[in-house]
Amino acid sequence: MSLNARVLVIEDEAGIRLTLGDRLAAEGCSVDCRGDGVSGEEAALSGDYDIVLLDLMLPGRDGLAVCSRLRKAGRAVPILMLTARGGSLDVVSGLRQGADDYLAKPFDMGVLVARMEALLRRVPPAERGGTGPVAFGDFVLDRSRGELTREGKTVPLNAQEYRLLDYLAQRPGRALGRDEILDDVWGYDPDTSTRTVDVHVARLRARLGESALPRHILTVRGRGYKFQK
Ligand code: CA
């Protein structure tokens, strides 16, 4: 079987980029490569990929930071971390920042392809979070411009409100726990509490003009919230 996926490779070793590019192209993939963390993150945010192969040790911005920032920006694209160190602490940190799986270097290409197949099966295309707009009610969340509009007019949102809305809007109909939302949108931080989620949801409802009667961000009693288009 062939993978047939759009792949972003963020890796600073040219040799590995070449090998990966050749092998993945042979699997029917289209492959974009970036050699540092900053341009890699940019590509991941602006492009539409099925999977990201992310090296841990990168110039500019390391793989952990890139991973964490992609998740905070609401990108659910599967991320496979490539780690040279193989230390359990790196693995734990990677998974905590939202990586889906990891592979220690040097790795066997056959194993890599099998892991990629498994990840692509696990995360259905609808949940990978491309950059397409999301329409709900009178609103359009323009994800390529990072903007919410209501009947063509911009609704002002601060960065955190936008991230929260983007996260919720990508998961319509799913009951999301406060803990889950906190972890995914704010990242791991011992100083934030689930109350933070409630405060931001209240603000977001006010921005959407649904403080009195929520239409899109519904409360799920005893659990958290659910987005409804
Ligand atoms: Ca590296």
pLDDT band at 66 (very low <50, low <70, confident <90, very high): very high
List the beta bridge partners of residue 79: 52
Given a cut of 70, whether residue 161 has pLDDT beyond it is: yes
Q: Measured in angstroms, how far is the CA atom of residue 186 from the centroid of ligand 1?
A: 27
Q: Measured in angstroms, how far is the CA atom of residue 37 from the centroid of ligand 1?
A: 10
Domain 6-122 belongs to what architecture? 3-Layer(aba) Sandwich (3.40)
SS percent in the chain: helix, strand, coil, step 5: 40, 20, 40
Measured CA to CA, the distance from residue 139 to residue 208 in angstroms comes to 9
Q: Measured in angstroms, how far is the CA atom of residue 76 from the centroid of ligand 1?
A: 23
- Residue 165: predicted pLDDT: 93
Would you identify the CATH topology of the domain 130-227?
Arc Repressor Mutant, subunit A (1.10.10)
Look at 9 and 28; give whichever has higher pLDDT.
Answer: 9
Q: Give mean pLDDT, residues 22-40.
A: 93
| DSSP secondary structure string for all residues of 79-145 | EEEEESS--HHHHHHHHHTT-SEEEESS--HHHHHHHHHHHHHHS-GGGS--S--EEETTEEEETTT
pLDDT band at 55 (very low <50, low <70, confident <90, very high): very high
Q: Measured in angstroms, how far is the CA atom of residue 13 from the centroid of ligand 1?
A: 6
- Residue 113: predicted pLDDT: 94
Given a cut of 70, whether residue 125 has pLDDT beyond it is: no
Q: Give mean pLDDT, residues 151-171.
A: 88
Contacts of 187 (CB under 8 A, 6+ apart): 68, 71, 72, 97
Q: List the domain boundaries for the chain.
A: 6-122, 130-227
pLDDT tens per residue, range 190-215: 677 888 999 999 999 999 999 999 99
Nearest to 100 by CA among 88, 125, 118: 118
**Residue-averaged pLDDT of the chain:** 87
- Residue 129: predicted pLDDT: 55
